[in-house]
Chains A and B, each alone.
Chain A
């Protein structure tokens, strides 16, 4: 009985130690594993947000019209929307999801990444506002040399 008490106590303290670091944390890889295995953009958005209906405004997405190197395509995302999360998808690779940002308090939606695309396709950015609506921007580009092969 004593041992059992001790065990439950240590479990409680372990929880208390872990809890503070997870307050504003959202690990989409463990909470929403199906997002990362979805093959189409719409399916992936549905897995992440529950719906694929978006409003096409308020988000600026910039990427080159022709990417000479599909292994490192520069992509910039900007928005003034009070956002909860930002997600980037594309339709050229086997799976759709690229990256999901959790916007922190005091965070600014102004991100820049380098991503890979196997072939020409469309990049989609979804911004989830704190008002619960989804805003999006799309950009179709040509990829000269695919970037997914080793």
Chain B
């Protein structure tokens, strides 16, 4: 997962891209013949200094390698943003960056 965070006028702007194929049920049915092979990110969270600042439950209809942008208040330059996603099969990946 690529993460970028930038402080602007007291608001932190975060942009991230998760590397994931995001295969919906229909595509899994077509490609592999089994709906249950569908795999997509179901949950993404971001924490700063141990506090959750962003949290989302997602479905199969985000694009492939989805890009998300969000904003939050209450952090400073140099603070570490840690982002984690988990997919339908239970795979998980974390990345972190420092706020610029």
Number of A-B contacts (CB under 8 A): 108
Whether A107 and B56, one on each chain, are in contact in the complex, defined by CB atoms closer than 8 angstroms, is no
Whether B27 and A99, one on each chain, are in contact in the complex, defined by CB atoms closer than 8 angstroms, is no
Binary interface encoding of chain B residues 45-75 relative to chain A, with 1 for a CB under 8 A from any of its CBs, else 0:
1000000111111111111101111111110
Whether A36 and B59, one on each chain, are in contact in the complex, defined by CB atoms closer than 8 angstroms, is yes
Whether A99 and B62, one on each chain, are in contact in the complex, defined by CB atoms closer than 8 angstroms, is yes
Whether B57 and A29, one on each chain, are in contact in the complex, defined by CB atoms closer than 8 angstroms, is yes
Whether A113 and B62, one on each chain, are in contact in the complex, defined by CB atoms closer than 8 angstroms, is yes
Binary interface encoding of chain A residues 116-142 relative to chain B, with 1 for a CB under 8 A from any of its CBs, else 0:
110000000000000000000000000
Take A108-B72, A108-B73, A150-B23 as given contacts and tell me if A115 and B61 are in contact as well, using a CB distance cutoff of 8 Å.
Answer: yes
A101 to B73 Cα, complex, angstroms? 16
A24 to B72 Cα, complex, angstroms? 15
Taking CB atoms and an 8 Å cut-off, the chain B residues in 22-41 that contact chain A are 22-27, 30-31
- Closest Cβ of chain A: how far from B89's Cβ, in Å? 13
Take A106-B73, A108-B72 as given contacts and tell me if A117 and B57 are in contact as well, using a CB distance cutoff of 8 Å.
Answer: no
- Closest Cβ of chain B: how far from A141's Cβ, in Å? 14
- Closest Cβ of chain B: how far from A61's Cβ, in Å? 15
Whether B27 and A147, one on each chain, are in contact in the complex, defined by CB atoms closer than 8 angstroms, is no
Complex interface: chain B residues within 8 A of A72 (CB): 63-64
Whether A108 and B71, one on each chain, are in contact in the complex, defined by CB atoms closer than 8 angstroms, is yes
Whether B73 and A113, one on each chain, are in contact in the complex, defined by CB atoms closer than 8 angstroms, is no
- Closest Cβ of chain A: how far from B12's Cβ, in Å? 9
Residues of A within 8 A of B (CB): 24-29, 36, 71-73, 90, 93-95, 97-102, 104, 106-108, 110-117, 147-150
Residues of B within 8 A of A (CB): 11, 22-27, 30-31, 42-43, 45, 52-64, 66-74
